């Protein structure tokens, strides 16, 4: 089989599993990632990897491919204007609408190594402590990659990782240093977060709907059909007054008519129609 045909074989598999599209313009990324997998499996080439997997993927090879196919770039409080919008408008409005003893439910979809979920936990704790409507929060963090979920569950970060977006006040308050000079998140935060493996292309549903969903930098890699399908499932799991936040380069234009687009602190946020964001 020709080299380009082998790349297409793997590209088709990744698209069927994750919806991520590899085309001619980014085939070099796929090739680099396949070479990494081949090396990990002690195989001499991508062609050898193909011969090993053409009749079916072992669980190890499949998970390696899914792990390396996804973009796991993340940082604490990534895109600060989004977190300002959550802090100044979204959480307060949602907290005021909760029933007695109801917890605020937040979902960090495609949560990568956990910085987004921990940022939401810190923000929620800080706001709840000074809110006129004190609230508790449950955060679900999901990802397709077992490797990044393992790191997220450890909640253990290097000095470089905590320097990317984490305020010093929060670092001192919510993290401690271990014997290897890594920073470990406090149970004050980790107790609020549940981690699960989830493929956003699967037919998922949750017993309780979420009030806030962050699904950032996922749709940008999908074709239109998969974008619509993922959004339909997300919308079905979002509470009637819920908010959806996408990545800065993503939009619902032409994909969904279930939301009102609003601007808060310079960030674009989406809310199910029929409920308007009140001015702060």
More confident residue, 30 or 210: 210
Phi, psi (rounded to 5 degrees) for 147? -65, -50
Residue 279 has pLDDT above 80, yes or no: no
Cβ proximity of 109 and 74 under 8 Å: no
Q: How many other C-beta atoms are found inside a 10 Å radius of the C-beta of residue 172?
A: 9
How confident is the model at residue 227, as a pLDDT?
Answer: 96
Q: What integer is the mean pLDDT of 94-115? A: 95
Domains 3-69 and 80-272 share a fold: no
**CB under 8 Å to 115, separation ≥6 — which residues?**
74, 75, 76, 78, 157, 161, 165
User: How far apart are the C-alpha atoms of 205 and 187, rounded to whole Å?
Assistant: 28
Q: What integer is the mean pLDDT of 128-144? A: 92
Helix extents (H) in the chain: 3-18, 27-40, 46-53, 59-69, 80-85, 91-97, 115-130, 146-154, 159-163, 168-174, 187-190, 224-236
Q: Which CATH architecture has domain 80-272?
A: 3-Layer(aba) Sandwich (3.40)
User: For the chain, which residues make up each domain, given as ranges?
Assistant: 3-69, 80-272
Q: What integer is the mean pLDDT of 23-44? A: 86
Identify the bridge partners of residue 264 per DSSP, sorted by sequence position.
Answer: 267
Q: Left if phi > 0, otherwise alpha if psi is -120 to 50, otherwise beta: which for 267?
A: beta
User: How far apart are the C-alpha atoms of 252 and 235, rounded to whole Å?
Assistant: 12
Classify 176 as helix, strand or coil. Answer: strand
User: How far apart are the C-alpha atoms of 220 and 206, rounded to whole Å?
Assistant: 24
More confident residue, 139 or 240: 139
Query: Which fold would CATH assign to domain 3-69?
Result: Chemotaxis Receptor Methyltransferase Cher; domain 1 (1.10.155)
Residue 156 has pLDDT above 90, yes or no: yes
**Per-residue pLDDT band at 274 (split at 50, 70, 90):** low
User: How far apart are the C-alpha atoms of 123 and 218, rounded to whole Å?
Assistant: 23
Q: Left if phi > 0, otherwise alpha if psi is -120 to 50, otherwise beta: which for 107?
A: beta
Cβ proximity of 216 and 120 under 8 Å: no
Task: State the DSSP string of 63-93.
Answer: HHHHHHHS-----TT-SHHHHHHIIIIIHHH
Q: How many other C-beta atoms are found inside a 10 Å radius of the C-beta of residue 37?
A: 20
Of 115, 107, 112, the C-alpha closest to 75 is 115
Phi, psi (rounded to 5 degrees) for 76? -70, 135
Share of the chain above pLDDT 70, in %: 98
């Amino acid at each position: 089989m020709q080299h380009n045909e082998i790349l297409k074989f793997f590209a088709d598999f990744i698209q069927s599993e994750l919806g991520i599209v590899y085309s001619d313009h980014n085939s070099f990324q796929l090739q680099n990632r396949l070479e990494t997998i081949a090396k990990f499996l002690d195989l001499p080439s991508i062609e050898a990897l193909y011969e090993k997997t053409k009749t079916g993927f072992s669980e190890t090879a499949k998970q390696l491919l899914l792990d390396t196919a996804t973009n796991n770039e993340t940082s604490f409080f990534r895109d600060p204007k989004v977190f300002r919008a959550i802090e100044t408008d979204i959480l307060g409005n949602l907290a005021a609408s909760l029933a007695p003893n109801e917890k605020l439910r937040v979902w960090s979809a495609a949560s990568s190594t956990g910085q987004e979920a921990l940022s939401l936990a810190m923000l929620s704790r800080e706001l709840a402590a000074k809110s006129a409507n004190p609230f508790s929060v449950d955060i679900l963090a999901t990802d397709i990659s077992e490797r990044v979920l393992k790191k997220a569950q450890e909640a253990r970060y290097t000095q470089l990782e905590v320097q990317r977006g984490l305020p010093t006040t929060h670092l001192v308050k919510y993290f401690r240093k271990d014997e290897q000079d890594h920073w470990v998140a406090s149970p004050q935060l980790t107790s609020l977060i549940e981690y699960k493996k989830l493929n956003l292309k699967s037919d998922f549903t949750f017993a309780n709907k979420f009030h806030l969903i962050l699904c950032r930098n996922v749709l940008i890699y999908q074709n239109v059909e998969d974008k619509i399908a993922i959004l339909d499932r997300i919308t079905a799991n979002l509470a009637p007054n819920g908010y959806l936040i996408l990545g800065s380069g993503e939009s619902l234009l032409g994909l969904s008519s279930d939301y009102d687009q609003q601007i808060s602190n310079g960030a674009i946020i989406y809310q199910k129609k029929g409920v308007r964001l009140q001015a702060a």
